[in-house]
Chain A
């Protein structure tokens, strides 16, 4: 999981971060990776690990993590730049407070110094400080009004994130959000197409099997359908799979006519 494949986000490891041109190049590559969700082996966790790693490098942070809203609207840590973060994020969830939660619930970027954070998040701040983090920010993963999570960045120094850095963080988070939402829609559409095609095909094959059984066993199509259903239930298999076996003669018609039972 730590080693990300080509074509996905994940620390390019090139370029001096102090050199603006090199930094721009790193940023450009990161954006290209963020846009690439069409790979057949796309993996959300890998993708968000890449976002964490890229944002740490580009924004000169010490650690980063991405949290996404789960089905009940709660935030869950999906990826982080290192394992130390995970403890913090878990704690943040439990305490129901912290920069990620604020960015997620307001849909706006959040930045806090050590002093700010003590005032804002009395439970979270001491943990952050204990882990060596002094400055923190979070930006929402947002597409228009749809907020799906937040990207959290931490610095060990007292140097605040500049306005430009906050904008870069926000742009990366938005890019990731667009990619995730598109990928979700694409996956949904593939699934629905497959379901529909399977339903159409199984309709055909079930009717064919009914006709075949009706002929072999000299019965009505309705009775043939009952036999198919009973056989499928007794063998704990799908109706369309049994129909396919009947049509292809993998199951002899006579087998369905016998008094059904798990041990024939």
Chain B
């Protein structure tokens, strides 16, 4: 995506207030820009090295944390495929057949009012660093203009994550990661606790947590919270 004019326009839109904004603020503004420019109901910048580590780094719109949380909790969804393949995934209509690749995600997203979902990989050399997910509360493909903006926005976000921390005086990777939403931590800890309770692997513990969430209709985060606070055990 070589489009310096488009890149310059988007950069101008997100950098207008103060040039000294840190990478976290820039990423937040990028998401807000995307939501406004493309009339989205959510824009989420998701960092991941694998399905389990998917974390919301920045987001805007009422569905941003929902689509991130759903994909991570369900262990399926377009962002995992976009990240793994390096190829964008477009689901302009979650009721359509191609969304059946992720039946649980499509059903859960529709249930909270998300009708269209687009996931763009943030590629950084060997493998990617995550995705930029866009969603809407109405079905329909992004216009060519919006799609081009979205791809450039993803590039800017990627560069901000990969390069800005190393600018003189900027924060390092560790500080950037510290800004990542901490709600996942509860799930990671609970998974470790469940694995100990069942004397089983982490993968099986995660599957049990996911199954419990599915069966009870509660979120994985809520159940994890109960596990961490020792209100719920899995070996009883």
Contacts and interface: CB of A to CB of B under 8 A. Distances in A.
B173 A204 contact: no
B173 A196 contact: yes
Interface stretch (B15-23, B47-55, B98-106, B142-150): B47-55
Contact of A199 (B52, B177, B189, B196): B177
Interface in B173-196: 173-174, 177, 184-185, 188-196
Nearest to A214: B193
Nearest to B161: A196
B214 interface: no
A200 B184 CA distance: 12
Contacts of A208: 188-189, 191-192, 195, 202
Interface stretch (A2-10, A15-23, A75-83, A185-193): A185-193
A214 B174 CA distance: 24
Nearest to B126: A190
Interface residues of B, number: 34
Contacts of A33: none
Contacts of A42: none
A215 interface: yes
A186 to B, nearest CB: 6
B53 A200 contact: yes
Please indicate which of the listed interface residues B52, B184, B192, B194 has the most CB atoms of chain A within 10 Å of its own CB: B192
B127 interface: yes
Interface in A177-205: 186, 189-190, 192-201, 203-204
Interface residues of A, number: 28
A220 B61 CA distance: 36
Nearest to B47: A200
Given A189-B124, A193-B162, A204-B52, A199 B173 contact: yes
A120 B177 CA distance: 55
B197 A215 contact: yes
Given A192-B163, A197-B127, A200-B55, A247 B195 contact: yes
A204 B206 CA distance: 12
A230 interface: no
Contacts of B192: 207-215, 247
Contacts of A195: 173
A221 interface: yes
Contacts of A203: 53, 177, 188
A197 B49 contact: yes
Contacts of B169: none
Contact of B125 (A193, A212, A221, A247): A193
Given A192-B162, A193-B129, A207 B185 contact: yes
B141 interface: no
B125 A215 contact: no
Given A192-B162, A201-B50, A204-B53, A211 B125 contact: no
A49 to B, nearest CB: 26
A247 B192 CA distance: 7
Given A189-B125, A200-B53, A201-B49, A211 B196 contact: yes
A199 B176 CA distance: 10
A252 to B, nearest CB: 12
A213 B202 CA distance: 13
A204 B195 CA distance: 14
10 contacts: A193-B125, A193-B126, A197-B127, A197-B129, A200-B47, A200-B53, A208-B192, A210-B189, A211-B190, A213-B192
The 7 closest A-B pairs by CB, nearest first: A211-B192, A207-B188, A215-B196, A211-B189, A212-B192, A197-B49, A193-B124
Given A196-B47, A196-B173, 20 more contacts: A189-B124, A190-B124, A192-B125, A193-B124, A193-B128, A196-B162, A196-B177, A197-B129, A199-B173, A199-B174, A201-B53, A208-B195, A210-B192, A211-B190, A211-B192, A211-B194, A211-B195, A211-B228, A212-B195, A221-B228
Interface of B: 47-50, 52-53, 55, 124-129, 161-163, 166, 173-174, 177, 184-185, 188-197, 202, 228
